[in-house]
Structure 1
Amino acid sequence: MPSYSGRGVHGQVVRRLGARIVGGDFAEGEVLDVRALGAELDVSLTVMRESLKVLAGKGLIDARQKRGTFVRPRAAWNLLDSDVIRWRVETGDGDRLMRDLADVRSLVEPAAAHRAALRRTEADLLALDAALGAMADARGEGDADAEAAADASFHRALLAATGNELLARFDLLLEPGLRERDRLVHGHRAADDPVPSHRAVLDAVRDRDAPRAELAMLDLLAKAADDLRSARRAAVDPETPTY
């Protein structure tokens, strides 16, 4: 799901409360004192109620008569929501998120590359070429956000190239986490160039070489894991050299 676009006081309340819930400041099942929180945040009850509706839509809270507004169990949260994903990263749950994302990608993307090589169209190749070109341009300009967006576009186009409508919608599952992962990696000063590994996948898909496309994606994912480890080390100790 796309991130919540509300701005101003309303948006700030959604972000602050959402991060506190996801970060564990409020326990599962805990009843929220809406009036007290409104006073703490210096906002009206109207703003609080509207903000809580947004958080309810993300599965974080619910409200019942006689019980009030309470935090739902983690199993009920929409963990694919882009805001929930960002709040997990911001509040220290990023390692678990990245591990789960890597597991899902290892199951889906090599098979998707294999299938894309068998089924891709000329339009699919144009979309993949455009994403790769945008990635190279962003890399050259040092624009980490644009590079992450282009990376996500490439993987979205690859899923679409499978010709399977259900598989193509896996972008809804992968993309929010992938964007957070890419912001970290592409923003790292010593991050390796991602273009060659993506080009290897595209070349195999273009050549309709399904086994090579699958292997190229496995190599890309292995490189992605190495890049993430390097970025994490640099985040902990900026003076640590990376090779």
Structure 2
Amino acid sequence: MSIYPGRGIHGQVVEAIGRRIVSGKEAPGSTLDLDALEITYDVSKTVVREALKVLAAKGLVDARPKRGTFVRSRSQWSLLDPDLLRWQFEEPSGSGLLDDLYEVRIIVEPAGARLAALRRTEEEVESLAAALAAVDEQADAEAIIEADLAFHRQLLEASHNELLIRMEYIIEIGLRARDVLVHTEGHRDDFLPPHQAVLDAVRRADPDGAERAMRQLLEQAAKDEQQIKNRGGK
């Protein structure tokens, strides 16, 4: 079973069954055999039932008299649940969701950058700068990924819009999956310039410039991702 950090054996069963459902190994409408799950994961029936309760709360499964526990259709899943997002982005078939992520980002992040330019504090500007400063010529893919996540997280926080800030967890989960795809395949040299352009516009309190720079950053990111896909990287 995959590790489900900090949640013990119960969490590992949630992780394992959830991934099987998201991957399609347990098809919508199929019935889950609780006895078989107990044997497969070498856990008690209580652990299996508690794990299924968690998955039911995520919209993945349901239980009915005479029918038992079954997998619900994708249209009924809680797609914005952090675990579901993570499982989907980590699937080989997750490239379609990355396309959806780009559409969300191109709507949300330029607006977030505009607000950040208008509302940011000096401390927030320095936090944005610090995220980029962590990337130098020796930076490996993981360092670039962490810097990217920190930069985009801080930018939304600098918008001082609570609802935009809550979008952070959706974007960050998908952004990590996208960054792993892109930065482990290269494209490290073009990381800093577009991010620096956003930072410079936010620093000088230029909302139009910040919005434009963020849009250009996202368009370049989409091109990098498409190049990887065209080479068979996804």
Name the counterpart of 1:201. Answer: 198
Does structure 1 conserve the Cα–Cα contact (< 8 Å) formed by 2:118 and 2:207?
Answer: yes
Taking structure 2 as the reference length, the TM-score comes to 0.87
Structure 1 residue 215: Cα displacement = 1.1
**Cα deviations by residue, 1:20-60 (Å, 9 ceiling, x for unpaired):** 10111222232211112322344332332233233233321
In the alignment, residue 51 of structure 1 is paired with which amino acid?
A: A
Does structure 2 conserve the Cα–Cα contact (< 8 Å) formed by 1:191 and 1:231?
Answer: no
CA distance in 2, matches of 1:140, 1:62: 50
Runs of 5+ consecutive residues of structure 1 not aligned to the other structure: 238-243
Name the counterpart of 2:24. Answer: 24
Q: What is the SS of the residue equivalent to 2:69?
A: strand
CA distance in 1, matches of 2:205, 2:199: 10
CA distance in 1, matches of 2:90, 2:170: 19
Return closer, same or farther for 1:47/1:73 CA change in 2, 3 Å cut-off.
same
1:164 paired to 2:156: no
Structure 1 residue 11: Cα displacement = 4.3
Runs of 5+ consecutive residues of structure 2 not aligned to the other structure: none
Structure 1 residue 212: Cα displacement = 1.2
Query: Percent identity, aligned pairs only?
Result: 53
Name the counterpart of 1:241. Answer: none
Name the counterpart of 2:54. Answer: 54
Does structure 2 conserve the Cα–Cα contact (< 8 Å) formed by 1:58 and 1:81?
Answer: yes
Q: What is the SS of the residue equivalent to 1:28?
A: coil
Structure 1 residue 121: Cα displacement = 1.3
Structure 1 residue 148: Cα displacement = 1.7
Does structure 2 conserve the Cα–Cα contact (< 8 Å) formed by 1:32 and 1:69?
Answer: yes
1:188 paired to 2:185: yes
Residue 147 of structure 2, aligned match among 150, 154, 166: 150
**Which shifted more, 100-109 or 81-90?**
81-90
Q: What is the SS of the residue equivalent to 1:27?
A: coil
Q: What is the SS of the residue equivalent to 1:69?
A: strand
Does structure 1 conserve the Cα–Cα contact (< 8 Å) formed by 2:149 and 2:176?
Answer: yes
Does structure 2 conserve the Cα–Cα contact (< 8 Å) formed by 1:132 and 1:154?
Answer: yes
Taking structure 1 as the reference length, the TM-score comes to 0.84
1:140 paired to 2:135: no
Tell me the number of residue pairs that the alignment of Structure 1 and Structure 2 aligns. Answer: 232
Structure 1 residue 95: Cα displacement = 1.5
Residue 224 of structure 1, aligned match among 218, 221, 227: 221
Structure 1 residue 122: Cα displacement = 0.8
Matches within 5 A, 1:60-99: 60-99=60-99
CA distance in 1, matches of 2:199, 2:89: 30
CA distance in 1, matches of 2:77, 2:191: 33
In the alignment, residue 140 of structure 1 is paired with which amino acid?
A: Q
